[in-house]
Structure 1
Amino acid sequence: MMDDEAKPPAAGNSVAGIAAMVAAGTRRMLEEAMDMAVLAEFPLASGRRADLMALDARGQFTLIEIKSGAADFRTDRKWPEYADWADRFLFAVAPDFPQQILPEDEGLILADAFEAAILREAKPRPPLAPARRKALTLRFARIAARRLSGGTMPRDA
């Protein structure tokens, strides 16, 4: 039997484990409470990847950037680029995340592995250009279909 010091850290305490827990609770809220379709690790045409991209029944996109801890946020310089790819942008963090370091003018979701709540709504953004919305919608559909069928990712995604 291993003593406590010899045990590997619990998945929930690692950076990846925290991110996975936040993603699970956030996804559950988006899908079940808000009736959105959600894709994880959604590739944007800019070459970046959204942690979660959600599409609602009106065709509006919500992009969620998950932060596993203060160091993750402080070292990330790419998140401002995501605003151009969605109608709404929110950070999702675990309950013990130091929320005061996040920009106050961005949306905020507090999540654990089972549930999530929007603490601060996303700020209003200009509507996506029709061509960008169409391209995002097609990309979302193609990626979802490929993942559902177990196929490979399309070359353009």
Structure 2
Amino acid sequence: MSDIDSALQPILTDGRQSPTALRVQRGVMRYLRSVHDMTCFAEVPLSNGRRADVIALGCKGEIWIVEIKSSLIDFKIDSKWHHYKDFCDRFFFCKPPELDAGIFPDTEGLMVADGHWGDIVRHAGHDPLAGARRKAMLLKLARLGADRVHGLMDPETRREDIY
């Protein structure tokens, strides 16, 4: 890894993401924060045992999940994305620019991102969460964010299950 690549490596990563997936994650999170005023969380464990690549939280409490697909093989071998839709108001796939958009279901939202920026290619349908699920997700994200900040401030108390 070059010095430039290591400088772009996020502090909070669990080591399972490919370099392409990390670049896409960075760009889509920048885009969501800048354009949609959303706070983003990466690698979020869900109560169904799945792990969302990116969860974006809007200022009115809306929750979007972004599933990053870095290659055709990554998309073909992963059929768990349906399970994320129960935890968000909108669901998107996000791909790097070089990956063909035609492989993704046209019934789902689609974003494109590189290491610097992102954009929405196709908007996702709006399927509002039930009140109880929204409350559970908001509490989860608040606690996760606080735990991650605490782990950065005091690494000796860092919990590995939140990264």
Relative to the length of structure 1, the TM-score reads 0.86
Q: 1:148 to 1:32 in 2, by over 3 A?
A: same
Instruction: Please name the residue that 2:135 is paired with.
Output: 134
Shift of 1:154: 9.6
RMSD: 2.4
Instruction: Please name the residue that 1:85 is paired with.
Output: 87
Shift of 1:155: 8.1
Residues 22 and 94 in structure 1, CA contact (< 8 A), matched pair in contact too: yes
* More helix per residue: 2
Instruction: Please name the residue that 1:98 is paired with.
Output: 100
For residues 101-150 of structure 1, the C-alpha deviation after alignment (integer angstroms, 9 at most, x for no partner) is: 1000100101110010101000122x211111100000000000000111
Shift of 1:153: 4.4
Q: 1:155 to 1:67 in 2, by over 3 A?
A: closer
Instruction: Please name the residue that 2:59 is paired with.
Output: 57
Give matches, 1:22-61, under 5 Å.
22-61=24-63
- The total of aligned residue pairs comes to 146
Distance 2:20 2:160 in 1: 29
Relative to the length of structure 2, the TM-score reads 0.83
Q: Which runs of 5+ in 2 are unaligned?
A: 6-16, 152-156
Q: Residue 148 in 1 paired to residue 146 in 2? A: no
Q: Which runs of 5+ in 1 are unaligned?
A: 1-6
Instruction: Please name the residue that 2:13 is paired with.
Output: none
Task: Point out 4+ residue stretches in structure 1 off by more than 6 angstroms.
Answer: none
Helix, strand or coil at the partner of 1:41: strand
Distance 1:100 1:90 in 2: 14
Distance 2:158 2:52 in 1: 19
For residues 42-97 of structure 1, the C-alpha deviation after alignment (integer angstroms, 9 at most, x for no partner) is: 11111100000010000010000000000000000100111111001000100111
